Structure 1
Amino acid sequence: MIRDISNEIVVSLKDRLRDVRHLIRASRHGVEPVTQTLPDILFDKAARAVDKALTAAETVSISLVSQDPAAHSTTIEARGLDVYFPADTCTGEALFRRDIYYLTKRMFSVLGSNNALIHEATFSGVHGAMIRRHGALLRAAKVDGGLDDISTACAAMAIELQSHYHTEPLTLPAHYEAQPDTEAEYLCFASIALAIGLATYADHEPGEERLVESALLALQARQDKFDQAIHATDRAEAFSGLFAFLIPHLP
């Protein structure tokens, strides 16, 4: 069965489709139609057609190989640590990878990076790194569920997310300008990690709350503390303190 294809192959397939779509969109960026020659106009129309075709191809690939195709058409929201790091590691990894991909795409768009290059495989690496390097923090946050433990685990996650994304080599030529700057990366991933902390602390599935957007607004409202955390010698401790301050005051 097609759905029995390994997750690694599925993720690679989707990421390669996204790479090509990213190139097509980047090639159209900033081009003014009124100044184009006829070949440029034709190229732009062809690029749009290929863009749509690749989006359709990604949708088809999801419907064929995803273990839960319907989930890709729903609004993705942050969930608790117990959902992303359950006893069944494979199930948690798949949810984490998918959710963080779509949340990252959404947050970068909000922050002005509409065509940032994002790979699901990056977040598979983050999930594994959290288990290997921060397993004790995750266990403490899930078992006890105390504010400090949750904040510490999610602070470690924010740093792992930014580090993995920032150090991923960009193999596509001439499109570095589409990538967000370091501050936007931290703001994006700190918002996602804080939202996961909120979901863990509340101990229930998110309803209509837009946890990630709420987290983003809260961090922007505390811009001074956020900037201090980014430049702190011990970023994990600084983000943990900031998260512990914000979580009780957010929905």
Structure 2
Amino acid sequence: MSLMMDRLLPLALLTCTLVNSGPANAAEPDPDQIAQVSVINALMLGQFDGTLPLGELLKLGDFGLGTFDHLDGELIALDGKIYQARSDGTVHECGPEMTTPFAVVTPFNRDVTVPCPPVGSLEQLEQVLATLLPQENVFVAIRVDAKFASISLRAVGRQEPPYRPLTEVVAHQSEWTRENLNGTLVGIRCPKWVTGISVPGYHWHFLSADHKVGGHVFDCRIESGTISFDRCKTWVVKLNDSLGAGGKDLSQDLSKELNKVERQRGTTEK
């Protein structure tokens, strides 16, 4: 991984720090920092055991997304609280003792807030964002508070060892569509050069205003709202002693499989 990072860092207008997983620093995090737990290739290959308590995760940031121990649902960090959108369609506020195997969070500080125009799809929203955020080599946290004509979501169910690769798990995920509700898109846009370490491009989770609907976002139609974004200049990746357990090669190119995971539809409707 060190050789990969040596090649990539000159391309980025940020600082990257790799640290061993453990108790988070009690000091306030850098307001321009984005912090990540583990690496995406580990999750892709089935490392679903939680490594960092959510209480420690919130010390790194109050806004972001990820998953839970045993891959039990979609993690949404919003306004300093963490919510779990489960595969049965329910949403629960989480306690600090729960753990995550993979998450990306930041202390959200708005750089800019602009009106969100009506959009007919998630793809159209990302086209709007491309004009607002042309700097493709930096990390950006994006918050969209809006009235949604519809939103299509998914959540993965709890897994038990021996864990299967993520591509096999998401083939049986639950998905659902809801109409006419208010809520928030929690988005992270990572540079393309993070392949194998994080999720390149946009990654979206959603939480409704009443905290009853949430999940990973497939698509949406927005009637009106606001877009706020926070450019992040420091990238912190928290590693743990179990990284690469079982002799799995984390350096392999899993970009095609990851793209399938991000876009693949499930087999169960809620």
Same fold (TM over 0.5): no
Instruction: Pick the structure with greater CA Rg.
Output: 1
The structure showing larger relative contact order (alpha-carbon pairs under 8 Å, at least 6 residues apart) is: 2
Structure with more strand by fraction: 2
| TM-score normalised over the length of structure 2 | 0.27
